[in-house]
């Protein structure tokens, strides 16, 4: 799917859409929804945490919040969705409940075990042979590392910027740090929310979006956030990169 950006906002007034983006010097990935399928983990944690505090949330409500933006941190997102329903809860309490569902406790194994890998390891290997790869995620660093090691893909990435290392997207700080650490000039950023793409633009990286087939609202939100290309599957990078820019 090749959708061009429809509007530019003030995230980076010097940024302009590049419908034919240049070959990257590096690739920066968001994690959740790009490398990791979190529909059975983080999404469910938001819903179950809200339920503990007497609020019934739906996946549609979460998706719409993600489309609006400023929703990278799922702990804060849960608190804000509760507040929108008239339930005020301190962030610390929300986080504690959320983390119990996500990490597990006693005999409860934790919903992070529901996560699966979205990108094919063979594709990651091909990409890593040609480009330095980085991750900029709203996850805490230890949770991101746990996922990468679980699926044995940590060695493909030269840089990991987590919640502990930079302000969350749409602030561009994390992507700027990754680009600086990789020592490159031209990077592509692959994300699945407007926050990812606004952060990419703020860091002067080429923003590519990912939204599965059937999620037209998010696809349009990514276009409005400045996506040069919107993919329906992260594995489409093989044709976008390896075929468009043969070595």
What's the average model confidence in pLDDT over 32-42? Answer: 97
pLDDT at 6 > cutoff 50? no
Q: What is residue 247's predicted lDDT score, i.e. its pLDDT? A: 63
Q: Output the pLDDT for position 33.
A: 96
Output the six-digit token pair for 122: 């063979």
Q: Write out pLDDT tens, residues 76-91.
A: 999 999 999 999 999 9
Sign of the dihedral defined by the CA atoms of residues 175, 181, 186, 192, in that order: negative
Lowest mean pLDDT among 86-95, 198-207, 233-242: 233-242
How many CB atoms neighbour CB 205 within 10 A? 29
Taking only the tens place, the pLDDT of each residue in 177-203 is 999 999 999 899 999 999 999 999 999
* Domain made up of 26-38+115-243: CATH architecture: 3-Layer(aba) Sandwich (3.40)
Q: Does residue 222 carry a pLDDT above 50?
A: yes
How much is the mean pLDDT over the chain? 90
Which is it for the CA torsion 90, 91, 92, 98, positive or negative? positive
Q: What is the mean pLDDT of residues 217-241?
A: 92
pLDDT above 90 for 9: no
Q: Distance between CA atoms of 70 and 195, rounded to whole angstroms?
A: 6
Boundaries of every domain in the chain: 26-38+115-243, 42-114
Dihedral sign (CA 62, 118, 115, 91) = negative
């Amino acid at each position: 799917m090749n959708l061009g950006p429809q509007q530019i906002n003030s995230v980076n007034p010097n940024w302009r859409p590049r419908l034919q983006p240049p070959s990257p010097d590096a690739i920066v990935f968001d994690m959740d929804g790009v490398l990791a399928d979190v529909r059975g983990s983080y999404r469910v944690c938001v819903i179950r945490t809200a339920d503990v505090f007497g609020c019934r949330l739906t996946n549609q409500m979460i998706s719409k919040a993600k489309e609006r933006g400023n929703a990278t941190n799922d702990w804060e997102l849960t608190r804000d969705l509760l507040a929108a329903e008239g339930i005020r809860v301190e962030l610390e309490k929300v986080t504690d409940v959320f983390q119990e569902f996500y990490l597990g406790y006693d005999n409860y194994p934790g919903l992070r075990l529901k996560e699966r890998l979205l990108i094919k390891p063979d594709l990651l290997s091909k990409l890593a042979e040609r480009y330095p790869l980085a991750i900029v995620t709203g996850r805490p660093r230890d949770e991101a590392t746990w996922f990468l090691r679980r699926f044995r893909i940590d060695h493909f990435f030269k840089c990991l910027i987590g919640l502990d290392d930079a302000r969350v997207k749409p602030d561009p700080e994390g992507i700027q740090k990754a680009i600086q650490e990789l020592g490159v000039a031209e990077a592509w950023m692959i994300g699945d929310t407007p926050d990812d793409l606004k952060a990419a633009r703020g860091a002067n990286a080429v923003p590519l979006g990912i939204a599965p087939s059937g999620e037209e609202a998010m696809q349009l939100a990514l276009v409005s956030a400045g996506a040069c290309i919107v993919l329906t599957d992260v594995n489409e990078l093989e044709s976008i990169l390896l075929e468009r820019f043969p070595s």
